[in-house]
Chains A and B, each alone.
Chain A
Amino acid sequence: MTSFFCTLWGNKYGIEYVQNLYNAVQRNYDGEFKFYCQTDRELHIDGVRELPFGKYKPIMDGRFPDKPKLNFWEPNCWGISGRKVFLDLDVVILGNLNNLIDRYNGRPIINKSWWQGDTINAEKDNHLAYRGITNGTIYIWEDTESTKQMWEHIVENSEQIFFCCINGSDGYFSSTHLSRFDFVPREMSFSYHNEKPEDPMSYTFCTIDTKRGSNAYEDQQELHDLKGWIKDMWV
């Protein structure tokens, strides 16, 4: 049994994001699964089980905006064990998920910010700036000793982690736990706003991942405003 997770808080995304993500998993995953959403809302979506926020709540204080995403790393979170898959709400699934999820081989899998190119591989200051080499649009994992150590580090140092890793969980994982992860293969994911692959449907998923707070990204539209093939896939 595979457990799929997402999380919903604030007003950036609506309940339709959860519904469409659930629909996409149903279409693209072969096998028994349960689907959960960590949220403080009542979703009223058949097949989606609501989970209360774990240890870290969605407190917006200007640093580390995605604190609740850390909760998934708590061993046996919400009493759930086995193979687990977390997906960001702004992920559009394009192909069969089993090919990706079945790659799990004892080490957690996370996406990578491939589209950042050479910058992301420049080691000199990445860790001091807590830049995100990882891209937490997807996690695939099972509870292991390694993930338990990661959770223990989070709990012991959460105050400092939230202060230093200004941009959030990817900065933390990238600076402190990078060697624990395997990456989603390059050919399986792309960034909708940063890349224009010739054959998007050959990928397993893409991430919309709009940026906020910068004029440089003002042309980036949210998923619900997009048109064309991407919108056709988001049902």
Chain B
Amino acid sequence: MINATERALELFRKICPEDSDEKILVLGSIHNLKFKFDTNIDWFTRAFPNKNVNFRLNEINSGYWNVVINCCCEHMVPMSQITLKGVYVLQSNDRYCDTHINRMRSMQQFREQCDLSDIFLEDEVSIDDVTYYTIIGEKW
């Protein structure tokens, strides 16, 4: 899981070096990896049940970020519902478990669900018998 996230972030930085104009939103978790971002909207705890990232789309879509990173798409509603303009770094996987409410079975399925305007890179890799799908692209 952490290896896959690390891979996605490295691929992102290969294509998009750090830029002072970046305003980065991380949805879900990047597992405490060393990575600079502006805002993290993580999952939620029972202490704050209304903080579920999936029920904050209006708040997210009215935000100021121009880079969206989500390496936990399998836990979320389709990324097509995020409408922010900018660069997207998205990752999902095909692992079955109760919390994976939106696991993917192919890169095509993931691509269609993300609905990006332009795709810079697609990466498919198997780690510990789990296939991870990474897409980096842009919405405008």
Contacts and interface: CB of A to CB of B under 8 A. Distances in A.
Nearest to B76: A164
A153 B57 CA distance: 12
A134 to B, nearest CB: 13
Contacts of B58: 156
B50 interface: yes
Interface of A is mostly: helix
Interface string B40-63: 000111100110101101100000
B27 to A, nearest CB: 13
A175 interface: yes
Interface size class of B (residues with CB under 8 A): 10 to 19
Given A128-B75, A160-B54, A160-B77, A179 B98 contact: no
Contacts of A97: none
B49 A153 contact: no
Nearest to A129: B98
A175 B52 contact: yes
Nearest to A131: B98
Nearest to B102: A163
Given A125-B99, A128-B99, A164 B46 contact: no
Contact of B101 (A130, A156, A176, A179): A130
A163 B100 CA distance: 12
A175 B49 contact: yes
A157 interface: yes
A53 to B, nearest CB: 24
Contact of A153 (B43, B55, B77, B78): B55
A8 to B, nearest CB: 29
B109 interface: no
A164 B49 contact: no
Contacts of B54: 157, 160, 163-164
A77 to B, nearest CB: 22
A127 B48 CA distance: 11
25 contacts: A126-B46, A127-B44, A127-B46, A127-B49, A128-B99, A130-B101, A153-B50, A156-B55, A156-B58, A157-B54, A157-B57, A160-B54, A160-B55, A160-B77, A163-B101, A163-B102, A164-B52, A164-B54, A164-B77, A164-B101, A175-B52, A176-B49, A176-B52, A176-B55, A178-B49
Interface of B: 43-46, 49-50, 52, 54-55, 57-58, 75, 77-78, 81, 98-99, 101-102
Given A159-B77, A160-B55, A176-B50, 19 more contacts: A125-B99, A127-B52, A128-B75, A128-B98, A129-B101, A153-B55, A156-B55, A156-B58, A157-B55, A160-B54, A160-B77, A160-B81, A164-B52, A164-B77, A164-B101, A166-B101, A176-B49, A176-B52, A178-B49
